[in-house]
Amino acid sequence: MAEEICTEGRWPAARLSIKFASPAAELRKEGFRRDAHLFLDRLQECASRLPEEEKARCGRDGVAAEISLKIDLSEKLVVLYRLFKYCNMDFHIFTGLLEILQRHFSDCDLLVPALQGYELAREIQRFLGVPAVECIYLKGDTGERLLMSGSPDPLGFEGIMEATARHYQERGGIDILAPGAEVPMFRRGPDGEEEVLWMQVRTPLSSK
């Protein structure tokens, strides 16, 4: 069943959507929801202290962060569809969420079907290790293309991270981008540099 945790009253700074896709997930649902509420309490408290310039960067109705998850224990998967922070705040959303997921679903893999932002990619690598890239959608001078795992052109996560870091170093650093933006990633191959439009990655939640 799908569940939208109502945040407009108690947690107006957040939007959290969870889908429990298997009956087994229901057995762990209450503990997870309890911890999710505490997580939202901390996020809301932090958002309430934002300076005016950061509040102005928030989404519609002052939403500072959006998170969308699916939990499917029959497939041993936690699917992170969306984790987006609109502004700079003194609250580490990914590590707070990861702590809860590892407490309740450490026997599962984390699957991110459409990873776009460099900052989230760095956090996944830092806290869970190097994930497997299952597919990647690229845009270069010669057009757009989809690469799948097992193709002759290898899909290397570490290579993407190194190419992205080099891309921004050559242009004055990552600080040139607007706060809260999904910082694009890049890949260098035989045909030159290509922008990573998205990639699907997977890694065990028990890593590290």
Between these two residues, 167 and 59, which has the higher pLDDT value?
167
Kindly state the average pLDDT of the residues 43-63.
89
The β-bridge relationship of strands 109-115 and 192-204 is antiparallel
190 in the same domain as 160: yes
Distances (CA, A) of 162 to 134, 136, 157: 18, 16, 9
What would the 3-class secondary structure string for 92-116 be?
CHHHHHHHHHHHHHCCCEEEEEEEC
Position 2 scores a pLDDT of 52
Percent helix, strand and coil across the chain, each rounded to 5? 35, 35, 35
131 in the same domain as 92: no
pLDDT in tens, 129-139: 999 999 999 99
Distances (CA, A) of 208 to 17, 105, 125, 128, 200: 27, 15, 10, 6, 20
174 in the same domain as 100: no
- Count CA within 13 A, CB hemisphere, residue 33: 15
Mean per-residue pLDDT over the chain, rounded: 87
* Domain extent for 165: 113-208
Whole-model pTM? 0.89
4 in the same domain as 101: yes
pLDDT in tens, 81-124: 999 988 888 889 999 999 999 999 999 999 999 999 898 999 99
